[in-house]
Structure 1
Amino acid sequence: MRIGLVRHGLTDWNAAGRIQGQTDIPLNEEGRRQAERLGRRLQSEKYHWDYIVTSGLSRAQETGEILSQMLQVPMLEPDARLKERGFGQVEGLTSDERVARWGESWDTLDLGQENIADIQVRAVAFLEDLWSSHSQENVLIVTHGAFLANLLTALFQDKYKERIGNLSLTILEKEREDWIPLLYNCTQHLSMDTAEQSE
């Protein structure tokens, strides 16, 4: 089984540096263009994808729908376990606003954020269920940055620390026991123009 872990495209809150968490913010026009660039890349690559599944939040759902249409790959029902980490009172705020309210160490305070251990438990449970139901297929998973960072930490400890970019692609493969990383946080498709991608 191969899975492609995709972070949704850009939103206005991403562009403004606001934490989205589970607030349902839609893609902006650049986010839609990013999804199309990834779609063109995937059309030209050797990997075959059987299904797409998203978190159900609109920014991930629309990213998945764009990829589904371009690749002619069916979408599974959204899975709420793929939702972004809940950030409580912090959602909607920029870095400067967070520091102004709670100081430089705001992230050590209990402001209603979802516990890291909890997000990792739901992330790993999702993967185990996906493996149980689709072990002979390849699935694109469209989700969120903090979710992906915590999933990768749960699987690989501290091996991957780079910030997960919008519309980045990470590919993992599993044959029996462990997930093997084949590609990590790749955004090369975002810097390619349409002519390059069609060659």
Structure 2
Amino acid sequence: MRTRIGLIRHGSTLWNKEGRVQGHTDNPLDEEGLRQAAVLAERLSKETWDYIYSSDMLRARQTAEVIAARLGLTLAGLIPGIREMNGGLIEGTTEDERIARFGSGWKTMDMQLESRELAQERGVKAIEELAGRHPGSNVLVVSHGAILRSTLMGLIPALDVSIMLKNTSVTCILKEHGGWTCELYNAAEHLQE
């Protein structure tokens, strides 16, 4: 049985444009983010999707609600396990602000960031639980860039996730025969149309 999970990064926010670390700060989409969600929803309407879930953070939920409305789906649930990684002491800051506050060596200091290992563990657990809940289905999950890349590294260790996920990009993974493969990574052609 084949289960397909479409992983979506939320639409853009003001903090994305300003280069601020968002982490657990509950920012809304900006106007462009709402437009991106609508364009993505149109693209997804040409495919078959059975369920849509979202991180419990506002920017992801707003993106999911736009998509759900276009697809005629009800938001199936909010999943704290796929919320963005905690930004610790750098949350809300730009690179210039981090350098001003902590010095140019800030990346070598303990900024109380959530570890990639912990994020990966909770992300993998959340996606595995969803796949178990909806075997053989096509499930959309709206989440965040860093947690999605960490989760993908846990599910498909050989996958190259070095390219940052674009806002409203789609990454499709398939679970078959107990293992995961990636069918599509960081697809955002809809934004050019």
TM-score strictly above 0.5: yes
Q: CA deviation at 1:106?
A: 1.9
Q: Identify the residue that residue 41 of structure 1 maps to in structure 2.
A: 43
Give CA deviations for 1:13-37 in whole Å, capped at 9, x if unaligned.
0011101000000000000000001
Q: Which of 11, 14, 19 is the matching residue for 1:17?
A: 19
Contact 2:10 2:63 in 1 (8 A): yes
Q: Identify the residue that residue 116 of structure 2 maps to in structure 1.
A: 116
- The AA in structure 2 aligned to 1:91 is E
Distance 2:154 2:107 in 1: 20
Mark the runs of 5 or more structure 1 residues left unpaired by the alignment. Answer: 193-199
- The AA in structure 2 aligned to 1:7 is R
Q: Identify the residue that residue 70 of structure 1 maps to in structure 2.
A: 70
Q: CA deviation at 1:108?
A: 2.9
Equivalent position SS for 2:141: strand
Large movers: runs of 4+ above 4 Å: none
Contact 1:50 1:139 in 2 (8 A): yes
Q: Identify the residue that residue 175 of structure 2 maps to in structure 1.
A: 174
Q: Which of 27, 30, 33 is the matching residue for 2:32?
A: 30
- The AA in structure 1 aligned to 2:18 is A
Equivalent position SS for 2:45: helix
Q: CA deviation at 1:102?
A: 1.9
- The AA in structure 2 aligned to 1:159 is D
Equivalent position SS for 1:114: coil
Q: CA deviation at 1:56?
A: 1.3
Q: Identify the residue that residue 4 of structure 1 maps to in structure 2.
A: 6
Q: Identify the residue that residue 149 of structure 2 maps to in structure 1.
A: 149
Moved more, 128-137 or 64-73: 128-137
Give runs of aligned pairs for residues 73-84 of structure 1, distance below 5 A. Answer: 73-84=73-84
Mark the runs of 5 or more structure 2 residues left unpaired by the alignment. Answer: none
Equivalent position SS for 1:179: strand
- The AA in structure 2 aligned to 1:39 is A
Contact 1:50 1:74 in 2 (8 A): no
Moved more, 155-164 or 92-101: 155-164
Equivalent position SS for 2:76: coil
Q: CA deviation at 1:86?
A: 0.2
Equivalent position SS for 1:33: helix
Distance 1:107 1:154 in 2: 23
Counting aligned pairs with the same residue, the percent is 42
Q: Identify the residue that residue 197 of structure 1 maps to in structure 2.
A: none
- The AA in structure 2 aligned to 1:18 is R
Q: Identify the residue that residue 165 of structure 2 maps to in structure 1.
A: 164
- Higher strand content, 1 or 2: 2
TM-score under structure 1 normalisation?
0.92
Distance 1:72 1:152 in 2: 28
Q: Identify the residue that residue 125 of structure 2 maps to in structure 1.
A: 125
Distance 2:146 2:179 in 1: 22
Q: CA deviation at 1:103?
A: 2.7
Give CA deviations for 1:28-66 in whole Å, capped at 9, x if unaligned.
00000000010111112xx31111111111100000000
Residue 191 of structure 2 is aligned to residue 190 of structure 1 = yes
Residue 88 of structure 2 is aligned to residue 88 of structure 1 = yes
Distance 2:105 2:48 in 1: 45
